[in-house]
Amino acid sequence: MQLIECPWCGPREEVEFHYGGQAGVPYPEDPAALDDVQWAQYVFFRDNPKGRFEERWSHAAGCRRWFNAVRDTATYRFERVQRPDTTQAGTR
Amino acid sequence: MSAPFRTPEGGRIDRSTTLEFTFDGQTHTGHPGDTLASALLAAGRHSIATSVKLGRPRGVAAAWAEDPGSLVQIEEPFPEPMLLATTVELYDGLVAHGLPGQGRLAEVPDSARYDAVHHHVDVLVVGAGPAGLVAALTAARAGARVALVDEQAEAGGALLGTDDVLDGAPAPEWVAAAVAELAAHPDVLHLQRTTAFGLYDDGFVLALERRTDHLGTAAPRNVSRQRVWRIRARRVVVAAGAHERPVVFADNDRPGIMLAGGARTFLHRYGVLPGREAVLFTTNDSAYDAALDLHRAGVRVQAVVDARPEGSPQRRQDCERAGIRVLSGAVVTGTQGVERVTHALVAPLAAGEVGASSAIGCDLLLVSGGWNPAVHLFSQARGRLRYDEALGAFLPAEELDGVAVAGSAAGVLDLAGCLADGRRVADAALAALGLAAGEQSALPAVEATPAGSAPMTLWRVPDGGDGSTSFVDLQRDATVADLARATGAGLRSMEHVKRYTTIGTAHDQGKTSGVLASGITAELLGVPVQATGTTTFRPPYTPVAFAALAGRDRGRLFDPERVTAVHDWHVAEGAVFEDVGQWKRPRYYPRPGEDMDAAVLRECAATRGGVGILDGSTLGKIDVQGPDAAEFLDRLYTNMISSLKVGSVRYGVMCGVDGMVIDDGTVLRLAEDRFLVLTTTGGAAKVLDWMEEWLQTEWPQLRVRLASVTEQWSTFPVVGPRSRDVVGAVFPDVDVSNEAFPFMTWRDTALGGVPVRLARISFSGELAYEVYVNSWYARAVWERLIEAGRPHGITPYGTETMHVLRAEKGYPIIGQDTDGTVTPHDLGMAWAVSKKKPDFIGKRSFARPANSDPLRKQLVGLLPVDRDTVLPEGSQIVELADGGQLPPPPVPMLGHVTSSYRSAELGRPFALALVKGGRSRIGETVHVPVDGTLVPVEVTGSVLVDPEGARRDG
Amino acid sequence: MTPRTPGADLPEHPDFLWRDAEPKKSYDVVIVGGGGHGLATAHYLAKNHGITNVAVLEKGWLAGGNMARNTTIIRSNYLWDESSAIYEHSLKLWEGLEEDLGYPILFSQRGVLNLAHTLQDVRDSVRRVEANKLNGVDAEWVEPDEVRKICPIVNTSSDIRYPVLGATYQPRAGIAKHDYVAWGFARRADEAGIDLIQDCEVTGFTTDGDRVTGVQTTRGTIAAGKVALCAAGHTTTLTDMLGFRVPVQSHPLQALVSELLEPVHPTVVMSNAVHVYVSQAHKGELVMGAGVDSYNGYGQRGAFSIIERQMAAAVELFPVFARAHLLRTWGGIVDTSPDASPIVGRTPYENVYLNCGWGTGGFKATPGIGDCMAHTIALDEPHPHVAPFALDRFVTGALVDEHGAAAVAH
């Protein structure tokens, strides 16, 4: 039961947040150009490190905004949170 | 009825009031301030329970939650399994009995109420003993928001069980003054009878307050019985005290054998003599106080048996002055007695060898093997522990961010040290919070603890035998012999040893047995105790009732009920409801004497033959706005949305990236830059989240904003050939003709100044108008539609009829006719998959090998050949072997029935099904096993009524 | 002395379990992960294939991961043919396991009820029951009054938030004592000469082209003819070292237990909608699983709000549980896959075999997957029961999606 720092709202209870998995997996520029293996990597495969992990979260029961975080999956501690860069695509 | 072991005076009980209770069928008395255990001891009863495995009598062995012995079942006022008599506060009319290992649940539901409260503080102090009180006072005086929680009925902690003097007055006076000072601070929450049972991340502590348990039958019904406090603290001070540790010896489990500090507590706090003739067995100085106090209270102390070769020269003098014999370098090797200890067997201990023993008569054997700091909460918060050789116990090995441990919980075992430690830890917390200390008075003056002798760590006294009556965990009947078997079986990890012996898995979760087991196992393996370590401490610290954690989330409050603006009308009309997500939707409206089949046939016929009305308000609605809204929807839907004209409506399908259908619905283009998106009832929240995720994380450059308007707009489809008459009558300003208001368009109008939107959308194939209105006015609009429809026999219908009507047209319900493995093509909706758009979510997955498998399941219709059987939804479809028989298992399956109804229109039952290669099987006969028979069914196309679409324009 | 409480204690363990083995220089087969699956694989390698030059490497204490933390439900009433085949294979092995292992594993076939609370639950349930029957798995649909007969304490009143509309019932399902199962496999493997090596964490692999030749550990490098990865939630830590990806995510899953209670709950009850799965174990404690925490986590702990929700669900469905007490909570690490089905079989390395992605279903599969993995390793050919669960299904799209269809986890 952590306090998670929403980059817009400040620290809020863990239950208000939705987890979005690995960050930095952009939607492919041209899916049709990918072979089945490459496409499967995008659809199904995500990193699963024990330790530092760049993730996406959304303050689902609050401001409903998505943000990126760096968290340790072993200790659950957040290293930092940041607003996504809204000036370019592919912040997923 | 008498209480022969009650002292003539003293204790913190209210002797002016007498309470009557029943234990094991016998009536006893006690006083307010007693626990069930103290009252039983006052009556001379030590033997409380029967052990789980061996059936040995067990008694009160400590004074609070660390007691492994006094397990009881409460019968009245309400059955509650497995509590400790030492923690049950006495009340009038209590009925209880000793437990033989298993508790018993009540057969009737618990009518008590439970609730939860959130609380936020700067400093939370757990434990109102000397360290905790000083810490709370220090923080309160500095102006911090403080919470102080303590598990006992009154504050004071260890001070309640001693005759300590603070600032020249008995300890209770100092405690009372401290409590009064805390009460005067408006920002201090002080809760007694409140056990902090779990410490989680970021200063989150869960505490259980027992609000009315001590009142018994007098508990007011309007007060919750127990309350869970969810406390978020910037700093947590754990001042939870220490548990005295026993020493293991043969037959160490008999009633009358008690921790020394526990006996002292029974004397000072409850005014009870736990015996008449006592022997004390100790490895440290602290226990001498128990012997001396009991001696002063009139107990004959037969001997103090001190395992240390030199004993304690200082304390020996105290004893000799009192005429108490002290045997140094001696141990208790065993005991005699059955229901109560009668003799302690005492023998010299030299160089690890135990000499010949002699019996000393006693009815009370006090034991002290030192102290185990209560590190439970610290360890739950992932704090590392280290083994301290001097104490023979585990201590916090690190500083945790935001969590400090103070007083005896940190291994500080003298009063002056605990007071100072409380101040030190509070000062550090204040500094971390940036709060000035404020005006602090000096710590109370206490008598210095006399210089003493170092304690000795002694886990067990060799019993000369196999250790099979040397109990380590009394609650599990687990012995030294069991530990020896475990290590002999090859086990090295403490976790394995715990599981092999079950030590530490019972009600007390190893409060007294855990460290003993680690110590003895280390001895058996010949390794340091630090190497064996402890097993993991897990929440809760003490047991918590399920209902307390359930709180108010029970019954109707278990999950929110969502109802539409017209719900009361449906109730008044006798609708039968269906749960769809959290919504309550009318399923059908039976008339007197009708079952569901009859009602649905009537509703269907009335709608297809005249006019029906549905409350479709639960459909999800999302307002999509912005210059890039059309582009955005093009990317999410499989079909083209951007080509939709303002004023028009289009059906759309949405897939996941894996190409499987996740939702469907209609899209209304309200303006060039604005759409109203309709989703399924169950999919509303998911689709909005899905859209937000893509918009915010993938396409933030798209200028689009999303808002849920599900609850703002009520939606009423008016359906059937007479719907034009009804809608035209209610909204005379609208030209409802097909030419002026064609299919798949919408129009805005108003009714009495209230904006209304009408849309020509049909989920039944019939002429139909959906009426959208602000939910505030929905009931009035609904009633006008009903009124206007009356001449046409307007019939309200529910979800069941809606399902039949749409299934007759082959319209799938996402989540019923699909299961996350179905593509638009499988549903026969290739027409809804754009070939023009370069990409949309899911498109690439359509090109995977499995998607072109000719045996993919496809949505088809099924007509039972007997024209009578309604196939149960979920039925499997099979091909028979040659000879018309079912092949032996595993029988290959072709697919399953997703929807199945009796059709008024067709005059026969029909079904929708997902069938392998289904469209190529149209015209074939396959079979459906139903209740042991094989029902032949004909595979058909999925559209069974009005395949030409002739009816939609009326 | 009064007679002891029936059932409140457990049968004794054997006097000897396993040697605390030291690693040798080289083995024919190295199994990474000394949990239930790794130990069962070792046992069946020895028993069925005579392969005993085998090491099982465990980074902590044997069977100390999910095996020590699960709620021990055993059943085979899965929807898809592929799933019910492997789980039914496993159930059949469970039925003879006590004899095979010579260990009192307390396998108790007390049946499982999977409750339906919505009309869609009912459709899904009937679909699963009908599929089970045709696949030769015992299963039936039972109406609420029959639910009450099978488990009288279930709240079958129509006056609750999500009334019970019926249930699927598998009479052959049940529970077993998890430590006993693990230790039974461990003892048999040890007797066969297999080395069970604890406190031995894998830190890397030595490779030669598309073969792994050695396993680097905290206790030295061990040469390996074949390598089997049976590390559940820690699988990706290993595959990251090997440089290939598997689509599993590790999440905390919590469970809890009550004090010992007189027998009150005769079967196993699972409910997806109200999210309860509960049985009463042999000593009398109620054993209950809670929900999966949403985030990736290796901490073997989760949020308490999930426990509170679990208690609300338990009291909702079982009003008599109100004053039972929560005694202990704990967490495990479940390895979830995209289609809620396991990932088993070959890897890009020709002598490395994969077994992961069981999510919440791993315990019940223990003997079945041990047998199939042993077959796969020994014959270098995926056992027919695991062939559908190959890693390449995520490329072809031929998933075995147990989410949407049956949606009955655990």
* A73 in reach of chain C (CB within 8 A): yes
pTM: 0.95
Cα of B96 to nearest chain A Cα, Å: 37
Q: Confidence class of residue B527 from pLDDT cuts 50, 70 and 90?
A: very high
pLDDT at residue B669 greater than cutoff 70: yes
Chain A hits for C234, Cβ within 8 Å? 50
Place of tokens 């492997």: C86
Q: Do C123 and B873 touch (CB under 8 A)?
A: yes
Q: Is B221 exposed, middle or buried (0-12, 13-18, 19+ CB in 10 A)?
A: exposed
Phi, psi angles (nearest 5°) of residue A39: -65, -40
CA-wise closest residue to C167 among C313, C288, C271, C317: C271
What stretch of H or E contains B635?
helix B629-636
Proportion of chain B above pLDDT 90, given as a percent: 94
pLDDT one-digit tens code per residue, C336-388? 999 999 999 999 999 999 999 999 999 999 999 999 999 999 999 999 999 99
Q: Is A87 on the interface with C (CB under 8 A)?
A: no
When pLDDT is cut at 50, 70 and 90, the band that residue C404 belongs to is low
**Between chains, do B55 and C3 touch, taking CB under 8 Å as contact?**
yes
Residue C27 reports pLDDT greater than 60: yes
**Residue B499 pLDDT > 80:** yes
Give the integer Cα–Cα distance in Å for B391 and B408.
11
Q: How many helices (H) and strands (E) does chain C have?
A: 11, 18
Out of C122, C179, C312, closest to residue B554 by CB: C312
CA distance C298 to C305: 18
Q: Which residues from chain A sit within 8 angstroms of residue C304, using beta carbons?
A: 1
Helix (H, G, I), strand (E, B) or coil at B466: coil
Q: How many CB atoms lie within 10 A of CB B184?
A: 9
Cross-strand pairs, B328:
B306
Phi and psi (nearest 5°) for B632?
-60, -50
pLDDT at C2 over 50: no
Residue C267: CB atoms within 10 A of its CB come to: 22
Residue C5 has pLDDT above 50, yes or no: no
| Contacts of A among chains (3+ CB pairs under 8 A) | B, C
CB-based contact, C384 to chain B, within 8 Å? no
C-alpha to C-alpha distance for B353 and C179, rounded to whole angstroms:
37
Residue B230 pLDDT more than 80? yes
Is residue C282 a contact partner of residue C261, using CB atoms and an 8 Å limit? Answer: no
Tell me the pairing of strands B95-98 and B19-23: parallel
Q: How far is A47 from chain C (nearest CA, A)?
A: 8
Q: What's residue C268's pLDDT?
A: 97
How far apart are the C-alpha atoms of B811 and B665, rounded to whole Å? 11
| Cis amide prior to A26 (ω within 30 degrees) | no
Query: Which of A54, A57, A59, A58 has its CA nearest to residue A72?
Result: A54
B659 vs C14: CB contact, 8 Å cut-off? no
Across the interface, do C126 and B819 touch by the CB < 8 Å criterion? no
Percentage of chain B lying above the pLDDT 70 cut:
100
Under the banding of pLDDT at 50, 70 and 90, the label for residue C408 is very low
Peptide bond into B540 cis (omega under 30): yes
Arithmetic mean of pLDDT, B492-499: 95
pLDDT band for position C123 (cuts 50, 70, 90):
very high
The three-state secondary structure class of B626 is coil
Cα(B143)–Cα(B433) distance, integer angstroms: 11
Q: Give the CA count within 13 Å in the CB-facing half-sphere of B10.
A: 21
| Alpha-carbon gap, residue B645 to B221, rounded angstroms | 63
Alpha-carbon gap, residue C311 to C255, rounded angstroms: 11
Shortest Cα distance, chain B CAs vs residue A83, angstroms: 10
Query: Residue A37 and residue C395: Cβ atoms within 8 Å?
Result: yes
The pLDDT value recorded for residue C8 is 59
Q: How many residues does chain C have?
A: 410
pLDDT range class, residue B695, cuts 50, 70, 90:
very high
CA atoms within 13 A on the CB side of B757: 19
CA distances from residue B692 to A54, B602, B633, B697, B837 in whole angstroms, order as listed: 20, 42, 12, 8, 22
**pLDDT tens profile B255-264:** 999 999 999 9
Instruction: Give the whole-angstrom CA distance, residue B950 versus residue C8.
Output: 72
In Å, how far is A28's CA from the nearest CA of chain C?
Answer: 16
Cβ neighbors of C301 (< 8 A, separation 6 or more) are C252, C254, C330, C331
Q: Which subunits count as partners of chain B given 3+ CB pairs below 8 Å?
A: A, C
Joined together, the tokens standing for residue A77 give 């501690």
Checking if the pLDDT of C11 tops 90, the result is: no
A43–chain C nearest CA distance, Å: 9
Residues B862 and B919: beta-carbon distance below 8 Å: no
Q: Which residues of A touch B (CB under 8 A)?
A: 1-3, 18, 20, 26-28, 30-32, 34, 36, 39, 42-44, 56, 58, 60, 64-66, 75-77, 84-92
Chain B residue nearest residue A3, CA to CA: B202
Three-state secondary-structure class, residue C73: strand
pLDDT at C6 over 80: no
Cα separation, B521 vs B536, in Å, equals: 16
Q: Which residue of B has its CA nearest to A85?
A: B700
The average confidence (pLDDT) of chain C is 94
Task: Kindly report the nearest CA distance between residue A17 and chain B, in angstroms.
Answer: 12
Q: How many residues are given for chain A?
A: 92
Task: Determine what percent of chain C is predicted with pLDDT higher than 70.
Answer: 96
**Going by DSSP bridges, is the β-strand pair C26-32/C220-229 parallel, antiparallel, or unpaired?**
parallel
CA distance C36 to chain A (A): 22
The pLDDT value given to residue B897: 98
B697 with A84: Cβ contact below 8 A = yes
Question: What count of residues does chain B have?
Answer: 954
Taking residues B405-409, report their average pLDDT: 97
DSSP-assigned letters across all residues of B225-243: SEEEEEEEEEEEEE---EE
B348-384 residue pLDDT tens: 998 889 999 999 999 999 999 999 999 999 999 999 9
b/e string for B509-530 if b means 16 or more Cβ within 10 A? Answer: bbbbbbbbbbbbbbbbbeeebe
B593-611 confidence digits (pLDDT tens): 999 999 999 999 999 999 9
**pLDDT tens, position by position, C137-173:** 999 999 999 999 999 999 999 889 999 999 999 999 9
Whole-number pLDDT of residue B747: 97
Q: With contacts defined as CB-CB under 8 Å, which chain A residues touch C395?
A: 36-37, 40
Comparing CA positions, the residue from B899, B107, B463, B411 lying closest to residue C120 is B899
User: pLDDT, tens digit, for every residue of B792-849?
Assistant: 999 999 999 999 999 999 999 999 999 999 999 999 999 999 999 999 999 999 999 9
User: pLDDT-based confidence at A85, cuts 50/70/90?
Assistant: low
Assess A52–C contact: CB distance below 8 Å, yes or no.
no
Residue A6: which pLDDT band, with cuts at 50, 70 and 90? very high
Section B924-951 average pLDDT: 95
Quote the pLDDT of residue C409: 40
C296/A37 Cβ within 8 A:
no
CA distances C313 to B209, B258, C3, C286, C307, Å, are: 22, 40, 36, 14, 10
Per CB-CB distance under 8 Å, the chain B contacts of A60 are: 689
Q: Which residue has the tokens 């003599």?
A: B273
Q: Which residue matches tokens 């911090």?
A: B144
User: How many CB pairs (< 8 A) connect B and C?
Assistant: 270
Q: How confident is the model at residue B536 (pLDDT cuts 50, 70, 90)?
A: confident
Q: What is the mean pLDDT of residues B697-705?
A: 96
Share of chain C above pLDDT 90, in %: 91
User: Where is C189: in which H helix or E strand?
Assistant: helix C178-191
Residue C224 near residue C26 (C-beta atoms within 8 A)? yes
Q: What is the mean pLDDT of residues B574-589?
A: 96
The answer to whether the Cβ–Cβ distance between B874 and C328 falls below 8 Å is no
- Model confidence at C262: pLDDT above 80: yes
CB B829 within 8 A of CB B659: no
Q: How far does chain C reach from its first CA to its final CA, in angstroms? A: 42
Dihedral (Cα; B36, B42, B44, B45), 10-degree rounding? 0
Cβ contact, residue pair C160, B558, below 8 Å: yes
Q: Kindly list the residues from chain B whose CB atom is less than 8 angstroms away from the CB atom of residue A89.
A: 698-701
Q: Which of A3, A20, A28 sits opposite B202 (nearest CB)?
A: A3
Query: For residue range B339-350, what is the model confidence (pLDDT) as tens digits?
Result: 999 999 999 998
Interface of C with B in 43-102 (CB under 8 A): 60-62, 64, 68, 81, 85
Which stretches of chain B sit within 8 Å of chain A by CB?
200-202, 204, 232, 382, 657-658, 689, 692-693, 696-701, 838-839, 843-845, 847-849
> Helix/strand/coil (H, E, C) string of B486-539?
HHHCCCCCHHHHHHHHCCCCCCCCCCCHHHHHHHHHHHHHCCCHHHHCCCCCCC
State the Cα–Cα distance between residues C267 and C279, nearest whole angstrom: 6
DSSP characters for B823-866? -TTTTT-GGGS-SSSS--TTTGGGGSGGGG-TT-EEEEEEEETT
Give the pLDDT confidence of B30-75 residue by residue, as tens digits.
999 999 999 999 999 999 999 999 999 999 999 999 999 999 999 9
